[in-house]
Structure 1
Amino acid sequence: MSGMPLETRIWVTFREGVYDITDYIKKHPGGEKILISAIGGQLEPLWTMYPFHEHRAILQTLEMHRIGNLALEDQIDDPFKFFDDPYINDPVMHSDNHVVVEKPYIGSGPLSRLGDEFYTPNEHFYVRNHLPVPQIDPNTHTIELEIEGTDNKKCYTLDDLKRMKNVTVTAALMCSGNRREEMVKAVPGAREMVANLTPNFISNAQWTGVPLSCLLKDMGITTDEKKYKHVQFIGLDKEVTGEPYSASIPIFKATDPYGDVILAYEMNGAPLPPMHGFPIRAFVPGHTGARSVKWLKKVLVSEHEAPCHYQQIDYKLYGPNVNWKNVDYSACPALQMVPVNSAVCRPNNGDTVHVEDGCINIKGYAYSGGGQKIIRLDVTSDGGETWHTATLDHQDKSEAPHHWAWTLWSCKIPVKKDASEVDVWCKAVDSSGNVQPESFKNIFSWKGCPCNAYNRVKVKLSH
């Protein structure tokens, strides 16, 4: 009809295909990256930066929007050859690690060894990267502290921080998607996740650095602060759009001298490894791992949360009724302190376990965010008819609300003489009386976090 405005359509290409993604881009959680990087052009640059898009479910979704193919003379045998691998300089990780995704690297030490050591060796400490590891010269690198909208700024080198009074915090760090694999499997019709993480995306270490509360106090920001509500951490790892990875925490956590937030430069007594944020990272004990920003460049005191995708969209507290069709991102709070959680480390799901004196031995970890201490770990092998209290083998001596470390536990539980297999469940209770929910069904989140229902392991028995 004359006079009617024409709708702008968004077309992209991938390999030989042409796709109209006009409608889909409104629902895509990273749609702004496509708009900036690939309008009227190729998706290959994004696939090079985010190679997990080669996942079958994502490719199937893309095919739903195919409208045709490039002309034969415009097709290229291997369009990826024109784009450099942004992960070419990433460090090589330990060969024993369980790798979920190579680029960006998502991996951890084997689950069967996770509960053997209270302090996780650096080479087996889990890594959940989102972007390529930046190359940083520690001799010239500086950290900026700034109060938004003012001239109040300070700058520190790594040597400056090392000359200050430091603290060492014993604390676990847990990925927001830890145990996500169980959530997806437990809920019928749940969408396929790109990174279905097993229970070994948590680790424990000693972190050494400068208390953030002291640095903020020097700038006039204390626990009495009223105007500014958030502290943003900005890293040097960057999206394909050039936007840096960033995250934020509430101002009360950052300014609390007992909150133990630090700018860390050592991990288990050694300089931070490159994969863990060398030379300096933010470390926020008791909060989800996504807020402990690696390769830290800037700390910004702000009235607003970090604008980053991982603060505004990915790691949020979504209800079980929310999905990509009805989601209101602004109505859902960002995940900060993690809920009580636990898992069996040994035996693994599907293992064969030898029965001795009518019992089997179980080992695992338990952890609660917000500085809460694990006070009890319950295990059952008969669907909850009877429960057995585990022995808490190793705990940090700190008390709640400053108990940042995990707890390692073990338990000997009886099994029936004629049983050929058994389901082992575990659940933890923390010092505030919080306990894990029984099932994922009622806590399902379409983004896959947090995942803290009972951990369930099915094992075979050898009598």
Structure 2
Amino acid sequence: MDVPGKRDDMIVHQQEPYNAEPTPSALAEHVLTPVRAFYGRNHGRMPRLDPLAWRLSVDGLVDRPLELSLAQLREGFPHHEVIATLQCAGNRRAGLMAVRDIPGQHPWGPGATSTARWTGVRLADVLAAAGLRAGTTYIAFEAPDVAPEADPPQPYGGSITAAKATSAEALLAWEMNGAPLTVPHGAPVRVVVPGHIGARSVKWVRRITAQDHPSDNFFQASAYRLLPADTSDPRPGDGVALSSVALNSDVLSPDDGAVISAGSTTVLGYAFAGDDRTVSRVDVSVDGGRHWVQAELAEQVSPWAWRLWSATVRVPAGQVEIIARAWDSAAALQPEHAESVWNPKGYVNNAWPRITVTAR
């Protein structure tokens, strides 16, 4: 499937449905990821919706069910924006596949992570207009795209807690980096849930339901769940439903496998921590972790965004492994080894990133 407006060098894992990530070097170029380089994660064919015909239903445990057009959404509520990083739960899965095979999953590298400025209205304001009832604990979303992997086949969906849904950062967005959303990124309106895995920022949203339990949609009850390593035959509800993004980082430059000049080398990367945690420190080592150089962190452009970082290290001649590690504001440190976080679906690989270069 040809996706107009994307970089020619996108790493495409699947054409239909479209799943692709930017190269690490492309991701390192901007704090705000250009739309043409922003990763794409899809489970079904991308729907092309007429903005004039689009309607958003708000129902469930509400006093005043709503049906809103795009114009009513734009004109009826105050506009807000948030700079937020979205990260796929399968980001860096290739590192777990190197430990043990994970059949049927895309081998995502570090590029299933991107950052944008989102503009729209607060989900909280729309829910307030509908009149949330006491006892509402979850807000569920439904989109029109149907995923073949869902059992039974069903439109894509998911849910977040009512507390997160009524926070100031959760949006119903129609703009991305100052321009209207494109089809690959959820036009005409998508949910943006900063700090949560990308799967909860439902694209092409058409229905919002207030309820007293999590969504029973396949992608909430079965797909995006962290399972123990020894799980062999999971059932719906097994494992832990994924929500907040774990502390993570990766090296974006030099490229893994690159041939570089020995001596002083600049290493670039990103680090990100979900929800109300921020990245506080990143270190880089070129000698197996015996010595570390503290990286310089770029400006924190938003509480909900990654931090790009750079470190200058001296690389000896020969084959060298470059390692990074990050801490967050809760004093959490990334786990050292991918073996310790391997799981049957390849989610949440937040082990120390490692690349190998040859210095001459």
Give the alignment's TM-score, normalised by structure 2.
0.94
Give SS of 2:95's match: helix
CA distance in 2 between counterparts of 1:242 and 1:444 reads 28
Q: Map residues 1-400 of structure 1 onto 2, 5 A cutoff.
A: 93-148=6-61, 152-163=64-75, 164-187=77-100, 190-221=101-132, 226-240=134-148, 243-257=154-168, 260-321=169-230, 323-325=231-233, 327-355=234-262, 358-396=263-301, 398=302
1:20-50 deviations in Å (ceiling 9; x for gaps): xxxxxxxxxxxxxxxxxxxxxxxxxxxxxxx
Residue 444 of structure 1: aligned partner: 342
Cα–Cα, structure 1 residues 431 and 318, in superposed 2: closer, same or farther, change >3 Å?
same
Displacement over 4 Å in runs of 4+: 89-92
Work out whether residues 141 and 209 of structure 2, in 8 Å CA contact, stay in contact via their aligned partners in 1.
yes
Once the 2 structures are TM-superposed, how far is the Cα of residue 256 of structure 1 from its aligned partner? Answer: 2.4
Amino acid at match of 2:342: F
Q: CA RMSD in A?
A: 1.8
Deviation at 1:395, TM superposition (A): 2.2
Inter-CA distance 368–179: structure 2 relative to 1 (3 Å threshold): same
Identity of aligned residues (%): 34
Shift of the alpha carbon at 1:271? 0.3
More divergent stretch after superposition (174-183 vs 299-308): 299-308
Q: Once the two structures are superposed, what CA deviation does each residue of 1:252-307 show, in whole Å capped at 9, x if it has no partner?
A: 101223xx111000000000010000000011000000000001100111122222
Q: Whole-Å Cα distance in 2 between the matches of residues 100 and 406 of structure 1?
A: 24
The 1:195–1:331 alpha-carbon spacing in structure 2 relative to 1, beyond 3 Å, is closer
SS across alignment from 2:184: helix
d(CA) in 1 for partners of 2:251, 2:341: 20
What's the CA shift string for 1:162-218, capped at 9, x where partnerless? 22211110010001100000011024xx33343110111100100001001111122
**What CA distance in whole angstroms lies between the structure 1 residues aligned with 2:196 and 2:358?**
36
Residue 252 of structure 2 aligns with an amino acid whose one-letter code is C
* In structure 2, C-alpha distance between the alignment counterparts of 1:226 and 1:330, rounded to whole Å: 25
Hey, what's the Cα distance between the residues in 2 that align with 1:395 and 1:116? 16
Q: Distance in 1 between matches of 2:298 and 2:3?
A: 37
- Could you tell me whether the CA contact under 8 Å between 1:90 and 1:132 is conserved in 2? no
Alpha-carbon offset, residue 92 of structure 1: 6.8
Query: Aligned AA for 1:205?
Result: A
Give me the whole-angstrom Cα distance separating, in 2, the residues matched to 1:200 and 1:270: 22
Contact 2:86/2:194 (<8 A) preserved: yes
Give the 3 Å change call, closer, same or farther, for CA 90–238 of structure 1 in structure 2: farther
> More strand by proportion, 1 or 2?
2
Separation in structure 1 between the aligned mates of residue 105 and residue 122 of structure 2, nearest angstrom: 36
In 1, the alpha carbon distance for the partners of 2:171 and 2:12 equals 29
Find the counterpart in structure 2 of residue 425 from structure 1. Answer: 323
**Alpha carbons of structure 1 residues 453 and 193: separation in structure 2 relative to 1, 3 Å:** farther
DSSP 3-state at the match of 2:158: strand
d(CA) in 2 for partners of 1:239, 1:112:
31
Q: Alpha-carbon deviations, 1:72-105, whole Å to 9, x = none?
A: xxxxxxxxxxxxxxx7x96574322111111110
Residue 407 (str. 1) matches residue 269 (str. 2): no
Separation (CA, whole Å) in 1 of partners of 2:336 and 2:17: 33
Distance 2:358 2:122 in 1: 48
Q: Which amino acid aligns with 2:162?
A: I
Letter aligned with residue 348 of structure 1: D
Query: What CA distance in whole angstroms lies between the structure 1 residues aligned with 2:112 and 2:264?
Result: 29
Measured against aligned partners, the alpha-carbon deviations of 1:140-166 in whole angstroms (never above 9, x if no partner) come to: 111111124x66311111111222211
Moved more, 173-182 or 307-316: 307-316
The Cα offsets for residues 402-423 of structure 1, whole Å up to 9 and x where unpaired, read as: x11010100011233xx31100
SS of the counterpart of 1:155? strand
Structure-2 residue corresponding to 1:461: 359
Q: Distance in 2 between matches of 1:312 and 1:439?
A: 28
Report which structure shows greater RCO (CA 8 Å, sep ≥6): 2
Conserved? CA contact 1:120–1:203, under 8 Å: yes
Q: Would the aligned equivalents of 2:64 and 2:131 in 1 still touch at CA under 8 Å?
A: no
TM-score (norm 1): 0.74
The answer to whether the 8 Å contact 1:207/1:264 transfers is yes
Task: Name the SS of the counterpart of 1:116 in structure 2.
Answer: coil
Separation of aligned partners in 2, 1:176 and 1:218: 32
Q: Give ranges in structure 1 of 5+ residues lacking alignment.
A: 1-86
Cα distance per residue 1:117-143 (max 9 Å; x no partner): 011100110001110011211011111
Compared with structure 1, are the counterparts of its residues 124 and 455 closer, same or farther at alpha carbon in structure 2 (3 Å cutoff)? same
